[in-house]
Structure 1
Amino acid sequence: MPQPQIVDSHCHLDFPDFDGEHAEIVARAVEAGVTRMVTICTRLHNEPQVRAIAETFDPVFYAAGIHPMRAGEEPLIAVDRLVALAGHPKFVGIGETGLDYHYTADSAARQQESLHIHIEAARRTGLPLIIHARDADDDMARILSEEHAAGAFSCVMHCFSSGAGLARTALDLGFYLSMSGIAAFPRSSELREIFAAAPLDRILVETDAPYLAPPPHRGKRNEPAYAALTARVGAEVFGLDYAGFAARTSANFDRLFAKAAAWEKPR
């Protein structure tokens, strides 16, 4: 019986944790049934390295933006530059961007300015916005609602671990929630309840590798292969068998990341 196929919708393969191991990391992912990965650029000066990884490995796609925790130290990017980067055939999303007030609340105004730029790029390109939100639920809900009312765009709330209120706002706007290893932690029962209350057709799976490895690897380096472990927990949350959950979340990925779904290897 063929291995169920799953997608790691968010990882960071350019991080030093994976230096010199990309071929092995991708091979282990594919062996585990993780047949596609989106590696995320968080600092624009690293975009060439991230792009090179996506160009080297057929299962790997990429996105680029300025992480909110870097917004205070990085130059703001112009919308036109993000739009230009999106012309690459394997560039499939805008971000990650968002708001993080946990460690970097002092740059909140700059983070919001950067977020608005990324939202406009998502509108212009039609690519999904990839949102990081931490300890900023009220501002995030307000900005996403106001911006969506001003002009629609698609979006995934990456590594969702915020409150039920932000989840409801995102879902009401037609956005997606992505389940990371946090949802598999034993003490994350409230988060699992938030996911269980969401429509199954708005759920994605990710690793955020090298961070947030699910059990039994918690505390160790995460990698895309472990998306399958989080997905098994997700299947339990939604009362499905693993194959069914893998199929549904993969279809969700194809719907949101339509450019990745349509990509064909050059002959």
Structure 2
Amino acid sequence: MTRHPITDSHCHLDFPDFDAERDDIVQRAVEGGVHRMVTICTRLRNEPQVRAIAEAHAPVFYAAGTHPMSAADEPLATVDQLKSLAAHPKFVGIGETGLDYHYTAESAEVQQQSLRIHIEAAQETGLPLIIHARAADDDMARILTEGYRAQPYTCVMHCFSSGAGLARAALDLGFYLSMSGIAAFPKSMDLREIFAAAPLDRILVETDSPYLAPPPYRGKRNEPGYTVHTAAVGAELFGLDYDAFADATEANFNRLFAKAATWDAPHG
């Protein structure tokens, strides 16, 4: 029986893990019920390669930004630079950006500066902000909220695995929480409770592939097609059958990533 389609809202198809079989991986995802993917550029100097992947594959869209763990090693993005990239028809989000104090706390100041630039670009383009948050819940909530109060914008907390307080702060701003394979790990009970307490109309699904493969592939290279395993866990959390949960997350993705939802592939 054919599953209702879902979207992998966050993957990294440009990573070398996929070099040998990128076309096959996209095809496998589509055949398995993952009909769209958003591939994320984490260093702006790599944007041409990421854009080329989106241009080569009809189901693939892309976003670009400076990952917080790279913020100290890369030139600071500018709002104009991000706005210029956003003119591409398949460029659908700003980021990933955010704060990571787990590995890179020493660059907290430049991470915050970079994050504010990306927030401004999201405000000016109307595209959703894509946030990476790790071990920085208080600063994350504060900066996102300050930015939103200055000028509203939309946002997804990608691969959400932070605490309930940051989840509440994000949801209070109208933002979305994205479930990755972490939510399907057996020991992630607390995280599943955070998702289960969130409104269904604020949930997305993703792989963050090639990382964080959900069971039964845990420990192996992740790929966009495995989004279906995380979606199955999400359906169970919300007491829905798979298709109903798939339909809900599709509606959420289309609302947040409206540019992807209205994109029409060129014909001829």
TM alignment of 1:123-134, pairs within 5 A: 123-134=123-134
TM alignment of 1:7-18, pairs within 5 A: 7-18=7-18
Q: CA RMSD in A?
A: 0.5
Deviations 1:1-32 (A, max 9, x none): 54310110000000000003111000110011
Deviations 1:161-207 (A, max 9, x none): 00000000000000000000000000000000000000000000000
Check if 1:258 corresponds to 2:258: yes
1:88 Cα offset (Å): 0.2
Q: Aligned AA for 2:163?
A: G
Structure-1 separation of matches of 2:188 and 2:3: 28
Deviations 1:202-258 (A, max 9, x none): 000000000000001000000000000000000000000000000100110000000
Gaps of 5+ in 1: none
Residue 183 of structure 2: aligned partner: 183
1:123 Cα offset (Å): 0.5
SS of equivalent to 1:38? strand
Residue 56 of structure 1: aligned partner: 56
SS of equivalent to 2:213? coil
Residue 113 of structure 1: aligned partner: 113
Q: Aligned AA for 2:16?
A: P
Residue 23 of structure 1: aligned partner: 23
Q: Aligned AA for 2:91?
A: F
Per the alignment, do residues 2 and 217 of structure 1 end up closer, same or farther by CA in structure 2, a change over 3 Å counting?
A: closer
- Structure 1 segments of 4+ aligned residues over 6 angstroms from their partners: none
Structure-2 separation of matches of 1:17 and 1:263: 28
Q: Aligned AA for 1:175?
A: F
Deviations 1:131-165 (A, max 9, x none): 00000000000001111000000000000000000
TM-score w.r.t. length of structure 2: 0.99
Structure-1 separation of matches of 2:19 and 2:255: 32
Check if 1:245 corresponds to 2:249: no
SS of equivalent to 2:87? coil
Structure-2 separation of matches of 1:21 and 1:265: 23
Amino-acid identity (%): 76
Residue 38 of structure 2: aligned partner: 38
Residue 204 of structure 1: aligned partner: 204
TM alignment of 1:70-149, pairs within 5 A: 70-149=70-149
SS of equivalent to 2:168? helix
Structure-2 separation of matches of 1:162 and 1:29: 28
Q: Aligned AA for 2:250?
A: S
Residue 153 of structure 2: aligned partner: 153
Gaps of 5+ in 2: none
Structure-2 separation of matches of 1:115 and 1:3: 37
SS of equivalent to 1:103? helix
Check if 1:69 corresponds to 2:69: yes
1:52 Cα offset (Å): 0.2
Structure-2 separation of matches of 1:121 and 1:196: 31
TM-score w.r.t. length of structure 1: 0.99
